[in-house]
Structure 1
Amino acid sequence: MAVNIYDDINKLASTFRETEEFGKLQAAVAAVTADDEANDLFKSFRDLQITLQQKQAQGEEITEEEIMGAQQTAQAAQQNPKILAMLEAEMGLSQMIEEVNRVLIQPVQSLYESM
């Protein structure tokens, strides 16, 4: 009998959306989105992160000026209370995701540990 793990994953995704941690992030994202200044600042921060990650992935050197700009943008974003609340909510959600990942990977780890 074949097992369809995707049914379980979809159920987990549905349950995930009902958690307190997801609700906190959802509310925090809504608060940032509703505030033009916070929203623009966060978009600028996110776009800069993506640009630098792409450069790094392509083996391009990131200049000192780009690093300084990224640090200033990150600092400005983190000083905004709505963005800070959103980042903190995201961290809480990330911890849950890491725990789920640990549980999922355990059977594979057990296989190797039995060698």
Structure 2
Amino acid sequence: MNYDKVYDLARDIKESDEFRAYAAQKAKVDADPNAKRMLEDFRKQQLGMEMRQMQGEAPSQADVEQLRRLYETINMHTEIRELFASEQRLIQMVQDIQRIIAEPFQGLLGFPETEGGT
């Protein structure tokens, strides 16, 4: 296995428009103490809910509604909204990379084949 190609991929990711846009937008949010605090509070609540779900605990409707309202509130902040948008583009890029990397394993390890063979 030539790990040099993996390191090249990591470098390419860091140099990608998606990564750079996300890093720049995160810096803008981090530079605004109010936006940073709002985002951190949202992420803590989001992570807490995900952790409870991983432990088999279904979130209450009130918790889901509270997180939804918090998301809607912080999404009104321009810098946070733009961070979420750049985060989505970065996540899409990572998902595409994961799909491509997983392709050789389809069928071999019992992974279902996807449409089109990819």
- Give the TM-score normalised by structure 2: 0.82
The percentage of counterpart residues that share the same residue type is 28
- Aligned-residue Cα RMSD (Å) equals 2.1
User: What runs of 5+ residues in structure 2 fail to find an aligned partner?
Assistant: 114-118
CA distance in 1, matches of 2:87, 2:44: 18
1:42 aligns with 39
CA distance in 2, matches of 1:103, 1:59: 31
Q: Which moved more, 1:75-84 or 1:103-112?
A: 103-112
Larger helix fraction of residues:
1
CA distance in 2, matches of 1:7, 1:53: 35
CA distance in 2, matches of 1:109, 1:65: 40
CA distance in 2, matches of 1:25, 1:36: 18
1:97 aligns with 94
The aligned amino acid for 2:69 is Q
Aligned residues: 111
1:63 aligns with 60
The aligned amino acid for 2:71 is A
Question: Where do residues 1-115 of structure 1 align in structure 2 (5 Å cutoff)?
Answer: 3-4=1-2, 6-109=3-106
Query: Would you identify which runs of 4 or more consecutive aligned residues in structure 1 move more than 3 Å?
Result: 110-113
The aligned amino acid for 2:49 is L
- Give the TM-score normalised by structure 1: 0.84
